[in-house]
Amino acid sequence: MKTRTKNPSDIVAGESPTGVAVTPDGKTAYITNQGSGTAPTVDMKTRTREPDDIAVGHSPFGLALTPDGKTAFVSNNGNNSVSTIDMQTGTKDPTDIAVGTNPTGVAVTPCRR
């Protein structure tokens, strides 16, 4: 087993990061940034944050990707909703999904046919 050590150069995630998910191919990470209501994108190879964050709902907390890496779901703790993001275009669906009070987590399971 390799020795696990902290990388000396941290990735600046922004104000109040609360969740992270990495695409199935390991190339990109998405972060929920509770303080700004955004989902920053990080290129894992270069360890750099993309310049444009994806605006989601108020106080985003949890984040999950579909197994194919095409869609992300973000739980918005501050406005009781879940945002859907098209991962290929990096755009949020304009209509959030209403859920119960103060959602903090979200998970995606593969479909069984």
Establish if 7 belongs to a structural domain: no
Domain range enclosing 65: 17-98
User: What pLDDT does 5 receive?
Assistant: 82
Establish if 48 belongs to a structural domain: yes
Summarised one tens digit per residue, pLDDT across range 20-31 is: 999 999 999 999
Summarised one tens digit per residue, pLDDT across range 36-66 is: 999 999 998 998 898 889 999 999 999 999 9
Give dist(CA 16, CA 14) in Å, integer: 6
Q: How far is CA 74 from CA 4, 7, 50, 53, 113, in A?
A: 29, 27, 18, 14, 25
Establish if 58 belongs to a structural domain: yes
- Residues pairing with 20 in the sheet: 31
Residue from 19, 11, 64, 65 nearest 38 by CA: 19
Establish if 108 belongs to a structural domain: no
Q: What is the value of pTM for the model shown?
A: 0.86
Establish if 88 belongs to a structural domain: yes
| Helix residue ranges, H only, the chain | none
Structural domain total, the chain: 1
Establish if 9 belongs to a structural domain: no
Establish if 104 belongs to a structural domain: no
Residue from 4, 6, 41, 49 nearest 20 by CA: 41
Region 92-108: mean pLDDT is 93
Q: What is the CATH number of the domain that holds 47?
A: 2.40.10.500
Establish if 3 belongs to a structural domain: no
